[in-house]
Every structure is written in C-alpha cells, then in structure tokens.
Amino acid sequence: MTQALVSAEEPVIKLEKRDGVAIVTVNRPKNLNAINAQVMTELGRVFSDLEAATDVFGIILTGAGDKAFIAGADIAAMANLAPDAAREWGRGGQALLAGIERLPKPVIAAVNGYALGGGLEIAMACDFIVAAPEAKMGQPEVLLGVIPGFGGTQRLARLVGKAKAKQLCMTGEQITAQEGHRLGLVAEVVPRAELVARSEAILRKIHENGPVAVRLVKDVINHGVNMDLDSGCLLELDAFALCFSTQDQKEGMRAFLEKRKPRFVGR
C-alpha cells in the first residue's frame, strides 16, 4: 500500500510497505528532490513511525523520478539565513540523520541519481548505499561558499578516509557510483531498474538472520568506528558475550547442529 504523508495532491514523502520492507521515497522530482523544512519534518516523522512499526523489519530510502536521489538542500530556502538560523537548520539535519543512523532496523539508501550535499549526507547516515551506475555523488557546498552541515565532513572522512574526504569537500567535485564503490562509499552498483528490487533482496537476506545479532552488528560498528582498535574490540567482545544470553543464539546453534533452518524470535 502507498500512504501519502502530506496531502493527496503532492506528498513530499511517499511510503510503501511490501511484506515487511518499507520503501520511503522523497517526492519532489521537479526540484530534484531537494531538501526543505517540510521534507525534513516528514522524513523525521516517517522514520519515527517505522522504528515503532511491528510490521516493518527493514527500510529502503530513495528519490522520485529518474534524475536524483536527493540533489542537496533547497538553496532558495537557505540563501538568506542568519548564522543563528543556519545553526538551527544544521542542528535539525544532524538530529534527523543521527536518528536514521541509530535506527535499530537496517536502512539502505537506494541512490538512483544525484546524491549531492545534504542528499549524500542522508545516504551516508543509512547503513549502506546501493547505487545505480548513473548516480553521481559529492559535497559541493564550497561552490556556494559554505561547508556541509548535516555531518558530511565527518561521515565522509570515516567512510573514504581523511585525504579523499578533504579533496571532495574542498573541490566540490562529484564522483560516479563506480568511483564511490572503489572508495568504499557505495556497497553495490546495480542497474537502475533493479535498484529497489536488489535493495529489497538484501533486506530479506538480512531478515533471515538473528535479529538481535543484526542489531548488535549495527550498533558495534557504528560506535566502534570512532574508537581506537582495542576499545572497539572490547565493545565487540561485550556484544559477542551478550549474544549468548539470547534465545536466538541457542536456536541458531541448535539449528546448525541439527542441519535445519533456524527459527529466530528476536530475543
């Protein structure tokens, strides 16, 4: 089913559910799905609802049309911001992206076209990116006299390394999906016609695994990447041990020994 979250005429966010997978589409194709305050508010609302939804185990985020995932922020809405207002805009964006990043369910960014500025920042807050060959990515904010404000400098550096992140953020250059894959920014490149289907297939593969273990993998990687190696390994060790208090661990190992598929319960 498809649900309009703003109005029947022109919803800025569309939500479709397919047997446990939620497909969230930013729907401003005439504006290349640019982010404005309404998009931010509705994205926050839908992700909050999906976190609580018992009928959803995974989420795909994509953009409407054949040109853009999200081609950045709505510059007309930003051009005359005073510094205090700009700080609040950035603070709101960072809070939204942190919420997506911390969501206990897997989130895939299906990047079907331009993912620039805030669009790439949103994609990087998802668990990973599956991109069409035509996709272009970048942080072009310096071309407008500003820098990324939704965490782009920080997430990009953690994904592609400090030197490449500096180059991309200082030059404003765009890279292809193939280059993003080579750098580790993109997990897979697939034909655009298969983008959502492939993302959905990945989520269903993840869903076959122990839900507690999947949540812990996400949590340990998200937190451990900011730690030194010894601290990160200790974090992993604590989570590994915690798994052995769960029904899923007992069922998973028993099923392996009995040569059958496990029946996980998420506890």
239 shares a domain with 195: no
Q: What is the pLDDT of residue 77?
A: 82
Scanning the structure block, which residue is given the tokens 């894959």? 181
Nearest to 131 by CA among 145, 119, 117, 147: 119
Nearest to 204 by CA among 83, 101, 60: 60
215 shares a domain with 197: no
222 shares a domain with 110: no
Q: Which of 165, 191, 207 is the last residue of a domain?
A: 207
Question: What percent of the chain lies above the pLDDT cut of 70?
Answer: 97
Mean per-residue pLDDT, 143-155: 96
User: What CATH number is given to the structural domain containing 238?
Assistant: 1.10.12.10
Mean per-residue pLDDT, 2-8: 46
Kindly give, in sequence order, each residue whose CB lies less than 8 Å from that of residue 38, ignoring residues fewer than 6 positions away. 6, 12
216 shares a domain with 191: no
Mean per-residue pLDDT, 73-79: 85
pLDDT band per the 50, 70, 90 thresholds, residue 76 = confident
12 pLDDT higher than 50: yes
State which amino acid sits at residue 206: I
Q: Which tokens is 6 given?
A: 């703003």
Which residues participate in catalysis according to the annotation? 121, 141
Q: Is residue 265, in this structure, part of any structural domain at all?
A: no
Looking at every residue in the chain, the average pLDDT score rounds to: 93
Kind plus residue range of the DSSP H or E element containing 203:
helix 195-207
Scanning the structure block, which residue is given the tokens 């990043």? 101
Q: Is residue 263, in this structure, part of any structural domain at all?
A: no
Q: Which domain holds residue 248?
A: 211-257
Number of structural domains (the chain) is: 2
50 pLDDT higher than 90: yes
Q: What is the pLDDT of residues 172-199, one digit of tens each?
A: 999 999 999 999 999 999 999 999 999 9
159 shares a domain with 32: yes
Q: Is residue 242, in this structure, part of any structural domain at all?
A: yes
155 pLDDT higher than 80: yes
Q: Is residue 25, in this structure, part of any structural domain at all?
A: yes
